[in-house]
Chain A
Amino acid sequence: MRIPVLFLSATLTVAISGTAEAFCGFYVARADTNLYNQASQVVLVRDQNRTVVTMANDFQGAVTDFAVVVPVPTFIEREQINVADNALIDHLDAYTAPRLVEYHDPDPCSRHELYSKRAMNDAPSTTLELRNVARSQALGVTIEASYTVGEYDILILSAAESGGLIRWLTENDYNIPTGAEKVVASYLRQDMRFFVAKVNLQEQSKLGYARLRPLQVAYESNRFMLPIRLGTLNAKGKQELYVYTLTRTGRVESTNYRTVKLPSDNEIPEFVQAEFGDFYRAMFVQETRRENERAVFLEYAWDMTWCDPCAADPLSSDELRRLGVFWIGGKGSDNVPSGAQDAFVTRLHVSYDSKHFPEDLVFQETGDRQNYQGRYVIRRPWKGATSCDASAYLAATRERQEREAQTLARLTGWDIAAIRAKIPYVGGSAAEPDGAPWWKRIWQ
């Protein structure tokens, strides 16, 4: 049986969870990576030319069908490979996910003011036997190393030419998509190796992990990039990719594609809380189109010391260390207080295909430490009894609700009439504030 190969494997959920008070609103929901059925998640830890890459698996089939082929810029020794916990990536995803927050209007009669807005900165079988050494030599493929790490069997391959490598992979039951040979040839000419992993069933049952854990590789290279070209060959439409970077100095951006901040701090209608995932996906599609489908989107850039509002707690120094942040923690640093992390996290989201993203993603670390978060706000009108004439408050609130409807329509491309129908306008069902000109609704 042929094993479908994941090149940059990975997957996105809307978790609705409890509330927590913060200056930037009460956190009510987040749009994390479970929003999409198929999405890759990669964590890149980088300082100078030292890199630790963690590749998360969203693989949902039988583990015997799992294989991953990743181009790597250098030879990789056994000690440079590790298997991490899924919980680490889940936590990083939750911490950095775009978030929905809420504010409650105060009683308009007790305090004649609305809230004050604070400005914000948020393989079919087991062991990959070496029985193939002779055959691989015949094909010009060199198995530079073979390791078993955790539940994975890993090979580091180099080759004299791509045809031999493709034949070797095919003969070893890897299902390589059409067109891969040219891309593989390009990587080989750039002196890159291939990191090939399959699941070792024996080890997996011994370890007892049901869900495949993320693979980690540490290496030194000037190349701060992510090879995405092989991933575009599967031709299943666009691929969703999340890149989290953990750096020392500041935000990370792409040097060969535009990096764009998603709209943030927008006030949107209350009903979006129940469909925050749909809202986020629709907005992302709109923004992608606005950028001619060629942009990398910034969803979060924040100093790891804090968050406001927190979609999840910041990662501890131990978690960061396990993600590969090598300058934090370690021996003799047990007393580092949690929260005082020398790490800046950037969350990038890209929806790519070969037409709009012809070359691999190349990154650079910038000196920008300004905090940014994808944050969306719902404001709850006062619903209690009023002991005074609240007509001015009601009129202002209806105007605000209308503004929120228009914002939502602009961000998502949703039909304004359908949006208005879902909004419980205060003081009645009319969508327009009292006194609005009659012609405002003719052509909408």
Chain B
Amino acid sequence: MDRRLNTLDPRYYQIAVLSSLLCFGIFVLDFGIRGYNAIAIILTTQCVQFLGTRWAGLDRFDPLSAMITSLSLTLLLRTDLVLLAILAACIAIGSKFLLRCNGKHIFNPANIALVSLMFGSDQAWVSSGQWGSTTVGAFALVCLGLVVLTRARRTETTFAFLTAYALLLLGRALWLGDPLGIPLHQLQNGALLIFAFFMISDPKTTPNSAAARLVYGALVACIAYTIQFVFYTPNGPIIALMLAAPLVPLFDLAMNGRIYRWQQQQGVS
């Protein structure tokens, strides 16, 4: 059993965790996730993945990464227009096939879709406050459980980001003389955890070398902090990842490392 767990593609765990979070968000937190958007996103990501696989001439259709992207998008993207949800799904999966460098796609699919729609339309938004702060403890445990289950593969980016971001918030509170309850409240954010464990952690869009991943995670945290607390623009981490992603090929050029492969992975995922 243990051997089977070891060889199982970690994306199954991710899908299980994201699906549970989605159910929790819909049935307990009453997020305002529109059912038709969720269905549109899931169907569109799979269709575009299928078309992209054919277009790129790959041997095997791989639905898992597209499923993770669709769940992340459903959890984070809010819009009243189903067409925008479909567009988000197209941008997300399309970017994997079109925007590539050194055999890797440049942007995290859900991330590029969110940022494109947030800035390209006033009808799409991310509700970062909707997770509340009381359920975040349980949420964090689930995320950490995921790390344990996946044997901490390439989680340096997540921990570098969370550590650097927490230190920056703590430093800001100390500089301002604010009570520590403020940075703690800022960290108790469900959207931040989804970002840290399911978006920035994407092994396909992070640097190949472990040291570079640590630097990269910290760099995203610095940019996110600047956006959020210097320019006072919401959703700092999501925008920061989009800005930092083009630097990944440079990190790969400067610091050697092995390109990540999912188990049984053959296609673009």
List B residues 125-156 near A (Cβ within 8 Å): 125, 127-134
**Contact in complex: B182, A258 (CB < 8 Å):** no
Residues of B within 8 A of A249 (CB): 122-123
- Interface SS of chain A: loop
Which candidate, A125-133, A367-375, A431-439, is the interface stretch facing chain B? A367-375
Nearest-neighbour CB distance to chain A for B27, whole angstroms, equals: 15
B233 CB contact (under 8 Å) in A186, A222, A259, A359: A222
Nearest-neighbour CB distance to chain A for B78, whole angstroms, equals: 7
Tell me, yes or no, whether B99 is within 8 Å of chain A by CB: no
Residues of B within 8 A of A292 (CB): 132, 134
**Contact in complex: A255, B234 (CB < 8 Å):** yes
**Contact in complex: B176, A295 (CB < 8 Å):** no
B117 nearest in chain A by CB position: A367
**Contact in complex: A364, B178 (CB < 8 Å):** no
A258 vs B232: C-alpha distance in the bound complex, in angstroms? 19
Tell me, yes or no, whether A430 is within 8 Å of chain B by CB: no
Give a binary string over A51-95; 1 marks a CB under 8 Å from any B CB, 0 the rest.
000000000000000000000000000000000000000000000
A367 vs B77: C-alpha distance in the bound complex, in angstroms? 11
Known interface pairs A222-B231, A294-B133, A358-B182; A367-B124 also in contact (CB < 8 Å): yes
Give a binary string over A295-308; 1 marks a CB under 8 Å from any B CB, 0 the rest.
10000000000000
Tell me, yes or no, whether B57 is within 8 Å of chain A by CB: no
A259 vs B130: C-alpha distance in the bound complex, in angstroms? 6
A182 vs B127: C-alpha distance in the bound complex, in angstroms? 31
**Contact in complex: B127, A253 (CB < 8 Å):** yes
**Contact in complex: A367, B80 (CB < 8 Å):** yes
**Contact in complex: B176, A258 (CB < 8 Å):** no
Known interface pairs A253-B127, A295-B132; A362-B234 also in contact (CB < 8 Å): yes
Nearest-neighbour CB distance to chain A for B37, whole angstroms, equals: 12
**Contact in complex: B129, A222 (CB < 8 Å):** no
Residues of B within 8 A of A253 (CB): 127, 129-130
**Contact in complex: A256, B185 (CB < 8 Å):** yes
Best-surrounded residue of A260, A292, A367 (most CB of chain B within 10 A): A367
**Contact in complex: A364, B234 (CB < 8 Å):** yes
**Contact in complex: B125, A359 (CB < 8 Å):** no
Known interface pairs A185-B176, A255-B234, A294-B134; A358-B129 also in contact (CB < 8 Å): no
**Contact in complex: A358, B179 (CB < 8 Å):** yes
Nearest-neighbour CB distance to chain A for B142, whole angstroms, equals: 19
Give a binary string over A172-200; 1 marks a CB under 8 Å from any B CB, 0 the rest.
00000000001001100110000000000
Residues of B within 8 A of A186 (CB): 176-178
Nearest-neighbour CB distance to chain B for A378, whole angstroms, equals: 25
Nearest-neighbour CB distance to chain A for B225, whole angstroms, equals: 14
**Contact in complex: A258, B177 (CB < 8 Å):** no
Nearest-neighbour CB distance to chain A for B119, whole angstroms, equals: 12
B78 CB contact (under 8 Å) in A254, A362, A366: A366
**Contact in complex: B231, A359 (CB < 8 Å):** no
**Contact in complex: A291, B132 (CB < 8 Å):** yes
A367 vs B30: C-alpha distance in the bound complex, in angstroms? 18
A63 vs B30: C-alpha distance in the bound complex, in angstroms? 45
**Contact in complex: A223, B177 (CB < 8 Å):** no
Task: Enumerate the 6 nearest inter-chain pairs by beta-carbon distance, A residue then B residue, closest first.
Answer: A367-B123, A358-B181, A258-B132, A222-B232, A186-B176, A366-B125
Q: Which of B's residues lie within 8 Å of A, judged by CB?
A: 29-30, 32, 78-80, 121-125, 127-134, 175-179, 181-182, 184-186, 189, 231-234
> Can you pick out 10 interface pairs between chain A and chain B where the beta carbons lie within 8 Å of each other?
A222-B232, A255-B234, A257-B129, A257-B133, A358-B185, A359-B178, A359-B185, A359-B186, A366-B125, A368-B78
